[in-house]
A and B are shown apart, each in its own frame.
Chain A
């Protein structure tokens, strides 16, 4: 079992739907990350939160909206996604922004119809 928990495991949504992905960690880590992973490719960084504040946005389209309600939780709100956004969305955490390693959850497999 991973120490970073993501829900749901699978999500199918239409292009006009609004949905949210959730991530939770109980390791006391203060940095949390969202990644996108396409098949047979390594993860690509999307967002970084440090001490519950958004620190890095890797030029992600505004149809993806991150939120960090507290130090253990991270959400990714989805709206008006495109078919090419279908991917595995991974959450990760680390002790803080400049520390490694990062620990990953098992991801949410997202399919856009």
Chain B
């Protein structure tokens, strides 16, 4: 079993839809939770970063961490075609250099 599981998609939604992207994990020591967006032929761009549990909101993006269920989510409101990309979740423990990535979910927002 992988430490971090993420549905690879692709996930296809119409413009304006609310998108929900999720990852589950098995290591209870994870404390740092990141979401990266990666466009084709570009590097991963940090979207959201959360330490420990809770919610974080930035514009149309909301990140949620539920440590009791070992489950993290990224919500995108009013999705746009420009949101079409691969979304990678990544996690790390306290005092750890190592990022453990999910496999990435490919999102397509149709105009």
Q: Which residues of A are in contact with B by a Cβ distance under 8 Å? A: 2, 4, 6, 31, 33, 40-43, 45, 48, 50, 55-56, 88, 90, 94, 97-98, 100-107, 109
Contacts and interface: CB of A to CB of B under 8 A. Distances in A.
Interface string B80-111: 00000000101010111111011110000000
Interface of B: 8, 32, 34, 36, 41-46, 49, 88, 90, 92, 94-99, 101-104
Contacts of A33: 97
A98 B97 contact: yes
Contacts, number: 59
B46 A103 contact: yes
B45 A104 contact: yes
Contacts of A56: 97
B46 A43 contact: no
B45 A100 contact: no
Nearest to B31: A100
A98 B46 CA distance: 17
Contacts of B95: 98
A108 to B, nearest CB: 10
Nearest to B95: A98
A43 B92 CA distance: 14
A37 to B, nearest CB: 9
B94 to A, nearest CB: 8
A111 B108 CA distance: 28
Counting chain A CB atoms within 10 Å of each CB, the highest count among B41, B46, B88, B99 belongs to: B99
A6 B36 CA distance: 18
A33 B44 CA distance: 13
A104 B101 CA distance: 14
Q: Which 4 A-B pairs have the closest CB atoms?
A: A42-B101, A100-B32, A104-B43, A106-B43
A72 B88 CA distance: 26
B49 A100 contact: yes
A42 B43 contact: no
